[in-house]
């Protein structure tokens, strides 16, 4: 004998219910349906998105069972779905007279009030409900309340709700995941530390609690403590990739680049390759002076994200350290296809061109910087240095005066103006400008000399420098 298919039986039962419902609706016979049969029919139409038919079924059901809070709740749910919020609230209020212990009453009232933009009423309903329910239902209400506060940007109250959840249920994964974000967002790291220490005392093998504790330490820059907590998290769950990721960041903050590389490479083992991880590893190698490995990882990153101009720029900087100017230029061209006017890119391009003695091209790059960022001192300095290298001394003088004006008389440009005067043979004026610059910022003399080391053969210049040294104006 063949075994009956439960799904088939259920489907046939539903068909029979629908036939009875249609007969009852049209008055063909004296069919009768139980309350739960009406609920099932309403759900059937609701699942098919036939809201009008679902509402008709609910109304017919309430004719036969006028005191059924369950049918009232279902009708209210349908009214909310059809944006009839006030009608829904009336029905829900009526339902609560018959059964105030149904959590759905409070959740649907909340939905209706939120749809009407009546946040305070929504909050009051949920707070009222919190006094009536315990256990899982109370936790469900706390999550609802957290969502309400989130929608209305009362973020500290979101944190408070999640904290209450964890006080009731320390192992609640959803709350543990969410509170980590809200701890960082609200800056309530000290509270989070105390909360998670308490959870760990009770449940020492909860890896998420250890992770959250670490993240809170990291939030107040206690990186060593953060690393210790992350270590506990990965001992419990060795494939906890986010723990390795955050630990890598903590090591970076401590400038422990070798250790950072080790844990970041572990992230790559556990998850799909990410440009940000390769970039971070590249940064570590860069800081360690290993430009070849830095470049290797930056190239891995840019392969995954070719439109990230910043990555092309970082590759370029590794070539510049090695004085591979042409290779650097190629990467900078890639970066500037995406973002043409970023000062750092133009400065680097100008530097490369200048070292290749392509002075006109370099001047164009540096001019782009000062045109787009007129108060950028580095841009003006680079432009003027380039003009000196190209022996465009008159132009250098003009740019010194322009730089002084827009940067509010930065002392460096008085030094450069003095140097330009010496170059064109106006030694007396140059000397006066040098004395003026030395009065303002004697420590910048080095940059003046770098423009023309032979200037120290000028006895008048040497005398000025000696006078200021004797007066201890270099301190």
Whether residue 2 has pLDDT greater than 50: no
How many Å apart are CA 415 and CA 422, to the nearest integer? 11
pLDDT digits (tens, 9 = 90+) for 48-78: 888 999 898 888 889 889 999 999 999 999 9
14 or 5, higher pLDDT: 14
Q: Is 99 exposed, middle or buried (0-12, 13-18, 19+ CB in 10 A)?
A: middle
How many Å apart are CA 350 and CA 92, to the nearest integer? 71
What is residue 12's predicted lDDT score, i.e. its pLDDT? 81
pLDDT digits (tens, 9 = 90+) for 440-452: 898 999 999 998 8
Q: Domain segments of the chain: what residues?
A: 409-475
Average pLDDT, rounded, for the chain: 92
Residue 325 φ then ψ, to 5°: -65, -40
The predicted model scores a pTM of 0.82
The token duo for 406 is 């827009």
What is residue 198's predicted lDDT score, i.e. its pLDDT? 97
pLDDT, mean of residues 271-293: 97
| Helix%, strand%, coil% for the chain, nearest 5 | 80, 0, 20
Least confident among 201-210, 237-246, 254-263, 369-378? 369-378
Whether residue 123 has pLDDT greater than 70: yes
The token duo for 398 is 């003009």
pLDDT digits (tens, 9 = 90+) for 305-322: 999 999 999 999 999 999
pLDDT digits (tens, 9 = 90+) for 80-114: 999 999 999 999 999 999 988 999 999 999 999 99
What is residue 412's predicted lDDT score, i.e. its pLDDT? 94
pLDDT, mean of residues 133-137: 95
- Sequence-distant (6+) residues with CB within 8 A of 197 are 213
Whether residue 7 has pLDDT greater than 70: no
The token duo for 372 is 């787009």
- Sequence-distant (6+) residues with CB within 8 A of 72 are 62, 91, 92, 94, 95, 98
pLDDT, mean of residues 21-36: 78
What is residue 15's predicted lDDT score, i.e. its pLDDT? 84
Whether residue 4 has pLDDT greater than 60: no
What is residue 9's predicted lDDT score, i.e. its pLDDT? 57
DSSP state of 210: H
pLDDT, mean of residues 216-244: 97
The token duo for 452 is 């023309």
pLDDT, mean of residues 15-23: 83
Please choose, from the candidates 43, 23, 45, the residue with its C-alpha nearest in 3D space to the C-alpha of residue 33. Answer: 23
Contact 53, 59 (CB under 8 A): no
What is residue 14's predicted lDDT score, i.e. its pLDDT? 82
In percent, the amount of the chain with pLDDT more than 70 equals: 96
How many Å apart are CA 201 and CA 419, to the nearest integer? 69
pLDDT, mean of residues 428-432: 93
With cut-offs at 50, 70 and 90, classify the pLDDT of residue 1.
Answer: very low
Whether residue 475 has pLDDT greater than 80: no
285 or 15, higher pLDDT: 285
Using the CB atoms, write b or e for 338-376: b if 16+ within 10 Å: eeeebbbbbbbbbbbbbeeebbebbbebbbbbbeebeeb
456 three-state secondary structure: helix
Whether residue 5 has pLDDT greater than 50: no
What is residue 471's predicted lDDT score, i.e. its pLDDT? 64
How many Å apart are CA 91 and CA 80, to the nearest integer? 11
In percent, the amount of the chain with pLDDT more than 90 equals: 77
Whether residue 22 has pLDDT greater than 50: yes
Contact 72, 39 (CB under 8 A): no
How many Å apart are CA 422 and CA 187, to the nearest integer? 57
How many Å apart are CA 426 and CA 377, to the nearest integer? 26
Contact 199, 168 (CB under 8 A): no
How many Å apart are CA 182 and CA 25, to the nearest integer? 52
How many Å apart are CA 16 and CA 10, to the nearest integer? 10
pLDDT, mean of residues 194-210: 97
Please choose, from the candidates 110, 117, 172, 173, the residue with its C-alpha nearest in 3D space to the C-alpha of residue 147. Answer: 110
pLDDT digits (tens, 9 = 90+) for 169-191: 999 999 999 999 999 999 999 99
């Amino acid at each position: 004998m063949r075994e009956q298919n439960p799904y088939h039986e259920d489907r046939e039962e539903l068909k029979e219910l629908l036939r009875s419902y249609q007969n009852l609706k049209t008055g063909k016979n004296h069919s009768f349906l139980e309350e739960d049969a009406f609920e099932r029919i309403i759900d059937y139409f609701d699942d098919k998105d036939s809201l009008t038919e679902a509402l008709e079924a609910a109304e017919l059901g309430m004719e036969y069972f006028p005191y059924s809070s369950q049918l009232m709740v279902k009708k209210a749910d349908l009214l909310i779905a059809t944006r009839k919020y006030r009608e829904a609230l009336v029905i829900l209020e009526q339902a609560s007279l018959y059964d105030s212990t149904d959590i759905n009453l409070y959740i649907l009232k909340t939905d209706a009030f939120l749809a009407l933009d009546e946040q305070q009423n929504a909050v009051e309903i949920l707070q009222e409900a919190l006094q009536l329910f315990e256990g899982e239902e109370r936790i469900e209400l706390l999550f609802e309340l957290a969502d309400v506060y989130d929608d209305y940007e009362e973020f500290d109250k979101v944190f408070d709700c999640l904290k209450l959840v964890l006080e009731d249920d320390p192992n609640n994964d959803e709350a543990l995941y969410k509170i980590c974000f809200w701890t960082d967002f609200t800056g309530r790291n000290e509270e989070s530390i105390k909360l998670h220490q308490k959870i760990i005392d009770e449940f020492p093998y909860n890896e998420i609690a250890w992770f959250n504790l670490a993240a809170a330490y990291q939030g107040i820059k206690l990186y060593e403590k953060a690393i210790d907590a992350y270590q506990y998290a990965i001992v419990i769950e060795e494939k906890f990739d986010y723990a390795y990721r955050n630990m890598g960041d903590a090591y970076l903050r401590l400038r422990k680049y070798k250790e950072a590389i080790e844990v970041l490479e572990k992230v790559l083992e556990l998850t799909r390759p990410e440009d940000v991880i390769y970039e971070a590893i590249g940064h570590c190698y860069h800081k360690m002076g290993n430009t070849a490995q830095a470049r290797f990882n930056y190239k891995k990153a840019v392969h995954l994200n070719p439109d990230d101009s910043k990555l092309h720029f970082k590759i370029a900087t590794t070539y510049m350290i090695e004085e591979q100017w042409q290779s650097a230029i190629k990467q900078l061209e890639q970066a500037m296809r995406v973002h043409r006017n970023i000062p750092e890119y133009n400065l680097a391009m100008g530097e490369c061109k200048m070292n290749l003695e392509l002075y006109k091209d370099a001047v164009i790059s540096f001019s782009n910087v000062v045109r787009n960022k007129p108060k950028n001192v580095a841009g003006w300095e680079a432009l003027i240095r380039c003009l000196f290298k190209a022996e465009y001394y008159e132009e250098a003088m003009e740019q010194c005066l322009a730089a002084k004006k827009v940067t509010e008389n930065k002392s460096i440009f008085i030094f450069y103006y003095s140097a330009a005067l010496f170059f064109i043979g106006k030694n007396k004026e140059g000397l006066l400008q040098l004395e003026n610059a030395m009065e303002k910022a004697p420590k910048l003399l080095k940059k003046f000399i770098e423009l023309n080391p032979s200037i120290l053969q000028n006895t008048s210049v040497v005398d000025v420098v000696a006078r200021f040294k004797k007066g201890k104006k270099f301190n």
